[in-house]
Chain A
Amino acid sequence: MTRPAPPATPDLPAPGPPPAGQPGAAPPAGQPAAAPVARFGPWAWCRWGWRQLTSMRTALVLLFLLAVASVPGSVLPQQGIDPQAVQQYYASHPALAPWLARLSLFNVFAAPWFAAVYLLLFLSLAGCVIPRTFRLAGAARQRPPRAPRQLARLPLAARYQTALSPDEALASAAALLSGRRFRLRTGDGWVSAEKGYLREAGNLLFHLALLALLAAICLGGMFGYKANRLLVVGGSFANTVTDLDAFHPGRAVSSADLQPFSMTLDRFAASYISSGQLRGQPSRFDAYIRYSPQPGAAWRRYDLRVNHPLSVDGLRVFLIGHGYAPMFRITDGTGAVVFDGPVPFIAVEQAGLTSEGVIKVPDARPRQLGFAGVFLPTAVDVNGRLGSAFPAPLNPVVSLVSYAGNLGMNSGAPQSVYQLDTAGLHQLPLPPRPLAPGQSVKLPDGNGTLTFTGYRPWISLAITYDPGTLPALIAGLTALAGLLLSFLVRRRRVFVRAAAGPGGATVVELGGLTRSDASGGFEDEFGRLAAALAQAHQAGPPAVTLTSPAQATAGAEPPVLDETTEGE
């Protein structure tokens, strides 16, 4: 935070300007020029560094850096969100991609430099907010200041005479102000009253909530996790590490911490706009699932939709994608059925959901078989090229390239289930012929038969567990409430002085001051208060004067609010 040089106060022995030649080290203008410069030891440097780190300016710069640093995360494909896209990026930018990977730009949110920014930001905010919290707690408990000597110089002032003695007048004034929930301080010939401490309470609340927000974010990072799963209609899965496609645990998450829920996908319905400019755009997705919160518990039905996640056991399951899984039955050269099931194909374009995928049959004999294929939901022939005209399966067709040989799966080297390693394979001489559901193709060289038996939709799910979400929400709302409170509540002060005047009468002087008039109306409040006091003192209506700001500053000496914590 900018710290306009405070008038030297006991708690802030500002370290003098750092030695020359330190860019950015210049203290804010107004720093006492005569500050001792002679010794600026390591301890002073530490203090100076800490002050810089915990200054609002640094926090804002870090926050800005954080925002800038997350830009590549939304511009470049991210490993954790869309690994397919990262692979595509590698394929299309073979020279650039390794360099981007070296800079962690495909995994921005886990990058060391990103962590550095947010850790510094956390440190900066905590270092800034914690000491402030203590000081605010002090301010909220503070007594009103002593009454200034010259009440007439205050922005609001009133004066009247009463027959009561000064002490009686002060006592009844104190009683009246106290009855209006002012906090009082009395002295010789004066009463000082202040109201609106809720502003400090609000400010305190805001700062505490800010700390809670930081803690909630840390909590989420430590104990939360994210996972992805692709689920074909008719299939089911359990929330265990073995059954997830991708798993990104927080620092303190082990595989035993996963909520043991299970889910089955019964049916998936997608509807698309069938005419007009938005033709082919999805209009609705419904995934009809059943889930069980834990083994042995009853299964419940749920309609999973976009932005309508399933909440189970504290975690949330989002529907984030869909596609088609064509189904194949493959018989090998020995006549054995070596494959019979759906294979998820991945959409390569959205307008027609043209999807690509591979089938691996490592246990086929005499040779392992592999197929790379394209699934077209609504196949159309455009100038001899097959394409998909619509995302719904109006004319589903699959087109395959067949391979035989060694799939390279038995060595144990990890291999993507979405890619075919063709190094050990040779393409089978087969004329390209699109297959409709139910159609078969006989593989040459005695390699067996493939039948395209149908297709099923699949959905992709994002499973997120973030125990910090609710605390963060509560902290955010509390921060907002505190902020509003500190904006809307005014702190206002009323001073009363009573002294024996000429002719035996007592002269009562009132002064009013508000330290900010965000919501206005202090003049009216002061006027009513003055009238009430005058009435209590059996005096005539008081003469209220409102000093204009110009007049007030014209005074040689502005009214002094004698607290050190007052302002900076």
Chain B
Amino acid sequence: MSRPRPCPPGRSRPAAIRHRITEPRRATAAALVAVAALALTACSSGPIAQNTPASNGQGFVAGTAGITVFGHGSPQAPRVSGTTLGGSRLSLAQFRGHVLVLNFWGSWCTPCRAEAPVLAALSQHFGASGVRFLGVDIRDTPATAEAFQRDFRITYPSLNDPGDQIALDFASTVPPAGIPTTLVISRSGRIAARVIGGVSYQGLRSLIAATLAQRS
């Protein structure tokens, strides 16, 4: 495209200036917009009956594994409260003064099942050191969740969160970016570390130990 062409094709033109005008640019520009619009709408969704359910291959978003340690200025954990699977009220504020390991899980989630023995063992290991463990059971039913806890001999409580409201409360600070996600929260209620994906015994133990070593 070289220079502006002020003269679009018209119905009739004085022949005197006809030779100065070449027609197709404006028309092609219009066609271009039309085709672009067409191309962009080509990927819109079809009628309801044609669409089978919304799910990817596995039906949930697995996190991209990764450990984030928050140093200075680590974010404050939000005020969160809920009802445990056992039916009692619980809030994060009750754990002030303790290092808290908060684990988002579901009994249907395979990486959660794989890490469950690690969490069960570490909760025993650190129990005497004043470290508390709390689960947040998401997209689950109480029957399956309780069966899971029995199966893996998990003794710490879990908040029942079928609608994922607790994860939503964390969305503005440290959003759990997949299942499972584990947060290590310091004695003063700051989020010291986040693990997306299944935890390993060594990895989580050193995160907890480091948080325990912090003064606050």
Contacts and interface: CB of A to CB of B under 8 A. Distances in A.
A306 B150 contact: no
A247 B111 CA distance: 18
B52 A56 contact: no
B129 interface: no
Nearest to B143: A340
B150 A486 contact: no
B145 to A, nearest CB: 9
A150 to B, nearest CB: 11
Interface string A358-384: 001111110000000000000000000
B168 interface: yes
B113 interface: yes
A339 B16 contact: no
A491 B59 CA distance: 62
A471 to B, nearest CB: 13
- Interface core residue of B54, B111, B115, B165 (most chain A CB under 10 Å): B54
A553 B178 CA distance: 75
Interface stretch (A62-70, A184-192, A431-439): A62-70
A409 B25 CA distance: 62
A23 interface: no
B202 interface: no
B7 A487 contact: no
Contacts of A458: 53
A139 B4 contact: yes
Q: How large is the interface on A (under 10, 10 to 19, 20 to 34, 35 or more residues)?
A: 35 or more
B54 A320 contact: yes
Nearest to B138: A242
B9 interface: yes
Interface string A150-171: 0001110000000000000000
A240 B62 CA distance: 12
A6 B2 contact: yes
Contacts of B3: 6, 9, 11-12, 132, 135, 565, 568
B215 interface: no
A517 B55 contact: no
B107 A363 contact: yes
Nearest to B168: A238
Given A338-B144, A409-B110, A243 B33 contact: no
Contact of A63 (B7, B36, B43, B172): B36
Given A1-B1, A1-B28, A217 B144 contact: no
A347 interface: yes
A347 B69 CA distance: 44
Contacts of B111: 412, 414
A227 to B, nearest CB: 8
B163 A236 contact: yes
B4 A203 contact: yes
A530 interface: no
Contact of B5 (A229, A520, A567): A567
B20 interface: yes
A109 B45 CA distance: 14
A306 B51 CA distance: 12
A515 B168 contact: no
Nearest to B177: A255
A486 B8 contact: yes
Interface string B134-169: 000011011110011011000000000011110111
Interface in A309-366: 318-323, 329, 332, 336-341, 344, 346-347, 350, 360-365
B14 interface: yes
Interface in A245-295: 245-247, 255-256, 258, 260, 262, 264, 282, 285, 295
Interface in B1-51: 1-22, 24-26, 28-33, 35-40, 42-43, 45, 47-51
B56 interface: yes
A411 B114 contact: yes
Contact of A561 (B17, B18, B51, B59): B17
Given A350-B49, A411-B114, A417 B168 contact: no
A524 interface: no
A228 interface: yes
A559 B167 contact: no
Contacts of B141: 339-341
A67 B177 contact: no
B21 A567 contact: yes
A247 B39 contact: no
A210 B1 CA distance: 15
Nearest to B180: A242
A242 B43 contact: no
- Interface core residue of B20, B24, B63 (most chain A CB under 10 Å): B20
Nearest to B22: A4
Given A240-B175, A409-B110, A550-B15, A416 B59 contact: yes
B113 A486 contact: no
B188 to A, nearest CB: 22
Nearest to B15: A549
A477 to B, nearest CB: 11
Given A228-B53, A241-B63, 7 more contacts: A240-B175, A242-B104, A341-B141, A363-B107, A411-B110, A414-B110, A483-B33
Interface of A: 1-4, 6, 9, 11-12, 54-56, 59-60, 63-64, 66-67, 70, 73-74, 79, 81-85, 87, 109, 128-129, 131-132, 135-136, 138-139, 153-155, 199-200, 203, 206, 210, 213, 217, 228-230, 235-247, 255-256, 258, 260, 262, 264, 282, 285, 295, 306, 318-323, 329, 332, 336-341, 344, 346-347, 350, 360-365, 409-418, 458, 460-462, 476, 479-480, 483, 486-487, 490-491, 513-518, 520, 549-550, 552-553, 555, 558-559, 561, 565-568
Interface of B: 1-22, 24-26, 28-33, 35-40, 42-43, 45, 47-63, 104, 107-108, 110-111, 113-115, 138-139, 141-144, 147-148, 150-151, 162-165, 167-169, 171-172, 175-179, 181, 198
18 contacts: A4-B22, A9-B3, A55-B1, A56-B32, A59-B32, A109-B43, A255-B171, A295-B165, A321-B51, A321-B52, A329-B143, A339-B141, A414-B57, A458-B53, A515-B13, A550-B15, A561-B17, A567-B20
